[in-house]
Structure 1
Amino acid sequence: MTRLQRLFRIAWVFCRYRLDALLPLTELPMVIRLLLLLAPWHLFPQPKLDRGERLRLALQELGPIFVKFGQILSTRRDLLPDDMAESLRHLQDRVPPFPGTQAKTIIEKSLGAPVTELFQAFETDAMASASVAQVHAAIMKDGRSVVVKVVRPGIERVIRQDIALMYLMANGLQRYWSEGPRLRPVEVVQDYETTIFDELDMQREAANASQLRRNFENSNLIYIPDIDWDFTTPKVLVMERISGIPIADVDALRAAGVDLKVLAEKGVEIFFTQVFRDSFFHADMHPGNIFVDATNPADPRYIAIDFGIVGTLAPEDQSYLARNLLAFFRRDYRQVAVLHIQSGWVPSHIRVNEFEASIRTACEPIFERPLRDISFGHFLLRLFQTARRFEMEVQPQLVLLQKTLLNVEGLGRQLYPDLDLWTTAQPFLEKWMRRRIGPAHLFQTLQSHLPSWIEQSPDMPQLVHDALVQLRGSSPVIAENVGTLEQIRQQQARADRRWRQLLVAGVLGAAAWLSTREDLPALAADVTPVTWGLMAAAMFFLLRSTR
């Protein structure tokens, strides 16, 4: 199908489901409004469905790429009204499989050998089929049971066409919709483009799986299947075949005697462990990708598959997010408001008191209630609506996190409706924050940064001098005030000496505090000889530089 044919197909679906009713007509220029009012879709009767269902059915009819986009869009409660977001959450990424003979051809081309030489047995009929790839069961020559994931033929060309059309629509929204600049629809499409093309690379997915497996090695929380790297290419992935109960099959879990409360709490713990301990999380944890190992029903373990979408957080976002969540748990709404402004998520000119009052109004109703009575999605919606009033811009780096947290909530509702998400998460976050400011983390930071600090310190006076010279040459006003520049240089030198003196005093104070701890030998045993050497060198340098 050519791009023009695809465009006509999209226009036909747009007309059939009367999606024109979703456009912000009153905010568009007069010429565009007139064109829309005269457009041919008015010849179609309006379906007797609500707008959310019309959008969901339209995306399903447009195909798997639009379905996946709708799934991601369903987590953007700042972009969509609640009824539409709820409808999009029910989009199913199920598409007919492509012929097994085509899968064999792709495997043989990628691995450079006939399927009969690569595997002891290979099932031509697909086990499962999704928008990007499908999965076949196989047995390796050494008898291991595996699954073989094969990328759909021609899918990259289809994706590029659809992404180009999405950019066209996003640019129109950003240009002509008053909310466009704040909601940044072009960035939403950019994020989706990155996500979907990452899913096309089976080696990237295999690397994600290997990282998660290493993070949870020997864990009783979750099991990650092993990757066979010798049989993995950009278009083919071979992975250990797992057996377990689908997490959506609650009746089977009950029949196996699984403790659903423990299972639900472990789901929350897995999420927060991935986000805050590892800063690397499985971002596609919908029920179809999660199974349960019920070998020990009293202590069940999750099994994850499909690692095409993972998320990461920068250290500063990780820290702000943890502090925000803890402030929510403690109902410290002023701290929440201050953190939003400090992080740059809300403009600095916003009045803290007004923002605090609005957050309190949105959040207070959700506390001290079991999960059965709380929709975290509704809570996010209210929070986004509050933040919208205070010019909060969309944070693309948090989109996958929101999506994953909504999936965790959905799993918790299915397994154990009385699960208290807040009570389960708060102790974990408090423990993580204590580790962040404890001696072990201090030692780790020193070990990581001391070499570069020591290496750069001798150059600092020259760097300050060069910066002042640059300032003097760049502005006529500053150039006329050489005396002021010299005063700044001298003040900087004095401040630098005072900083070193304070640092030495702080280190000595910390040492004195540590000497009073009963667990000092255990703490000291965790510090390597290299770290002790670096700390001694740093102290020697600081003491000399304070003279």
Structure 2
Amino acid sequence: MIRPKTFLRLIHINWVMIFHGLDEIVLKTPLFRPIRYLALLSPSYWLRNNRDPRGVRIRRTLEDLGPIYVKFGQTLSTRKDLLPDDIAEELVKLQDKVPPFSAELARKIIEQQLGMSISEAFAEFGSEPLASASIAQVHTATLHSGEEVIVKVLRPDIESKIHSDVALLHELAKLGEKFWSDARRLRAIDIVTEFEKTILDELDLVREAANASAIRSNFKNSDMLYIPEIHWPLTRRKVLVMERVRGIPVGDIQALREGNADFKLLAERGVEIFFTQVFRDNFFHADMHPGNIFVELPAKYLAVDFGIVGSLSDTDQRYLAENFLAFFNHDYRRVAKMHIESGWVAENTRVEEFEAAIRSVCEPIFEKPLKDISFGLLLLRLFQTARRFDMVVQPQLVLLQKTLLNIEGLGRQLYPDLDLWQTAKPFLENWFKQRIGPTAKIKEFLGKIPEITEQLPEFPNLILHALQSTAQVQQQLQLQNKEIILLRKQLKKNNFNHFWAVVSGSLIISAALLLQNWLHLH
């Protein structure tokens, strides 16, 4: 049963869509075209004065609906190859141009969180937001030390809005799993739960600051990626103060061209950074849309906004690496077997049939640059294959899949001739050597030496305890052997007595019969 508050939110969503004229766009799609004339019955059809382009209407609808929908639009904006140009250009504005809240309100939140006035915290504070996104907005400032920083401030009342929308998503997921088999296969409830955890983590800017510090440490002195420094004394749950970095937005291709950026190296480094974070560090930036990425010429990335990060279990990490390598080596049988062994598809699935299905989807895209690959068609074919074999979606991998799509979209923008597969393959092969080869085993043993050394004083006690345990076991075995010998003797004795009892009985019966016959004859 849908709660009243959730039902009202659903009505509000429909009203916002109608207000911006999205009902008109929906009814023009092939699915709803047969009933498009029903729009004539809607009062909004006759009262609507909005004649803005469809891209503008879609963007404004997402902005009015709130942060979750803006996040959805941001994700779509990274995949211009899947969208018409007019819609893609408008959705890009969701990356850092969401309507801001007032500077006065931002000042009030900052002062409440820091427990001091703006003038005490900063020598200068910019009233005009530098950027405004779905969860927070950013202002420029200067510390009393003279260092330039950015101040990220959480949007007011953002938590209640997110909780409301997440509750609606949960209700829709429950209904979907109840009445739609594909929703059960896609594990809609688990995916919403995973999404809820991710977006609620974004509401704690201290957590985001810790994420930034961790990735900064992982890429210390790197020539591929730079992460700004966090100013911890001025960071709170709703306020984050970070070093200000200057670079060209990665989406500004014209400015990058004018600055003679190395597009090929940028694209290759983007792929390498992704795989390094996932497999070397097991901690990856999972919100890599163009609004969060800048370039220091000629080919160094500057990353900001670490509210969404991801990590994998050791099992998932190794499993994914093996899958990637199998794909890169065109070993589709191995891919099919791993999916069956992991339980992602039913154990009674025929390996040969599943292998052939995967081959038909993936083989056409290998050996091709990004510009020649239709990822829209590829995704459609993959979904069809998953549905045919009842493949279960793994919610813990949704963030990784989203990030991989972002990286691929970024690579397409920067250097369409990039060979994604050949760029990633050497990295994975090297990772396997480091993690599974003989050198890795020696390092693993050497790494355990301190632990073994700490336990050396306990070795005599451990050995004595082991010897005592062994002696006790031997005594128990000896007692058991004695009991077995006695039991055997008893069985032999019982068998002997039983034998003579049978013989004696037979002789008595035979004598009785003979006596009876003799008496009968005489």
1:205 and 2:208 matched: yes
In structure 2, the residue matched to 1:436 is 435
Give the 5 Å matches for 1:117-516. 117-294=120-297, 297=298, 300-376=299-375, 378-446=377-445
Per-residue deviation, 1:124: 1.3
Q: 3-state DSSP class of the match of 1:179?
A: helix
Q: 3-state DSSP class of the match of 1:96?
A: coil
Counterpart-to-counterpart distance in 1, 2:206 and 2:237: 5
Per-residue deviation, 1:170: 1.7
In structure 2, the residue matched to 1:536 is none
Per-residue deviation, 1:6: 3.6
Range that drifts further, 383-392 or 200-209: 383-392
Counterpart-to-counterpart distance in 2, 1:132 and 1:316: 33
Amino acid at match of 2:440: H
Percent same amino acid among aligned pairs? 55
Range that drifts further, 57-66 or 121-130: 57-66
Asked if 2 retains the 8 angstrom alpha-carbon contact of 1:135 and 1:149, the reply is yes
Q: 3-state DSSP class of the match of 2:246?
A: coil
Per-residue deviation, 1:308: 0.5
Asked if 2 retains the 8 angstrom alpha-carbon contact of 1:263 and 1:301, the reply is yes
Give the alignment's TM-score, normalised by structure 1. Answer: 0.72
Asked if 2 retains the 8 angstrom alpha-carbon contact of 1:376 and 1:406, the reply is no
Counterpart-to-counterpart distance in 2, 1:333 and 1:59: 40
Asked if 1 retains the 8 angstrom alpha-carbon contact of 2:288 and 2:407, the reply is yes
Per-residue deviation, 1:50: 13
What do residues 212-260 of structure 1 show as CA deviations (whole Å, max 9, x unaligned)?
0000000011000000111111110000000111111112112212211
Counterpart-to-counterpart distance in 2, 1:184 and 1:74: 25
Amino acid at match of 1:338: K
Asked if 1 retains the 8 angstrom alpha-carbon contact of 2:129 and 2:140, the reply is yes
Segments of 5+ residues of structure 1 without an aligned counterpart are 26-37, 77-81, 464-482, 484-547
Amino acid at match of 1:148: V
Counterpart-to-counterpart distance in 2, 1:146 and 1:439: 47
Range that drifts further, 387-396 or 6-15: 6-15
Asked if 2 retains the 8 angstrom alpha-carbon contact of 1:56 and 1:88, the reply is no
Per-residue deviation, 1:59: 3.8
Counterpart-to-counterpart distance in 2, 1:347 and 1:429: 28
CA shift in 2, pair 1:382/1:87, >3 Å: farther
Q: Give the paired residue count.
A: 439
Amino acid at match of 2:216: R
Asked if 2 retains the 8 angstrom alpha-carbon contact of 1:71 and 1:89, the reply is no
Counterpart-to-counterpart distance in 1, 2:53 and 2:319: 38
Asked if 1 retains the 8 angstrom alpha-carbon contact of 2:271 and 2:423, the reply is yes
Aligned Cα root-mean-square deviation (Å): 3.8
CA shift in 2, pair 1:166/1:222, >3 Å: same
Counterpart-to-counterpart distance in 1, 2:430 and 2:176: 44
Asked if 2 retains the 8 angstrom alpha-carbon contact of 1:147 and 1:240, the reply is yes
Counterpart-to-counterpart distance in 2, 1:275 and 1:6: 37
Per-residue deviation, 1:415: 1.2
Asked if 2 retains the 8 angstrom alpha-carbon contact of 1:377 and 1:406, the reply is no
CA shift in 2, pair 1:412/1:39, >3 Å: closer
CA shift in 2, pair 1:60/1:271, >3 Å: same
Asked if 2 retains the 8 angstrom alpha-carbon contact of 1:292 and 1:301, the reply is yes
Segments of 5+ residues of structure 2 without an aligned counterpart are 32-37, 470-483, 485-522
Asked if 1 retains the 8 angstrom alpha-carbon contact of 2:78 and 2:406, the reply is no
In structure 2, the residue matched to 1:9 is 12
Asked if 1 retains the 8 angstrom alpha-carbon contact of 2:182 and 2:387, the reply is no
Counterpart-to-counterpart distance in 2, 1:175 and 1:304: 41
Asked if 2 retains the 8 angstrom alpha-carbon contact of 1:228 and 1:240, the reply is yes
CA shift in 2, pair 1:74/1:403, >3 Å: farther
Per-residue deviation, 1:17: 3.5
In structure 1, the residue matched to 2:107 is 104
CA shift in 2, pair 1:175/1:230, >3 Å: same
Counterpart-to-counterpart distance in 1, 2:406 and 2:90: 12
CA shift in 2, pair 1:209/1:426, >3 Å: same
CA shift in 2, pair 1:88/1:449, >3 Å: farther
CA shift in 2, pair 1:100/1:309, >3 Å: same
Amino acid at match of 1:258: A
Range that drifts further, 134-143 or 160-169: 160-169
Counterpart-to-counterpart distance in 1, 2:341 and 2:233: 48
Amino acid at match of 1:410: G
Counterpart-to-counterpart distance in 2, 1:460 and 1:320: 38
CA shift in 2, pair 1:150/1:348, >3 Å: same
Per-residue deviation, 1:89: 10
Amino acid at match of 1:188: I
Tell which has more relative contact order, 1 or 2 (C-alpha 8 A, sep 6+): 2
Counterpart-to-counterpart distance in 2, 1:56 and 1:182: 31
CA shift in 2, pair 1:422/1:12, >3 Å: same
Counterpart-to-counterpart distance in 2, 1:138 and 1:50: 37
In structure 1, the residue matched to 2:477 is none
Per-residue deviation, 1:287: 0.8
Larger Rg: 2
Counterpart-to-counterpart distance in 1, 2:99 and 2:381: 38
Per-residue deviation, 1:137: 0.2
Counterpart-to-counterpart distance in 1, 2:240 and 2:125: 14
In structure 1, the residue matched to 2:492 is none
Give the alignment's TM-score, normalised by structure 2. Answer: 0.75
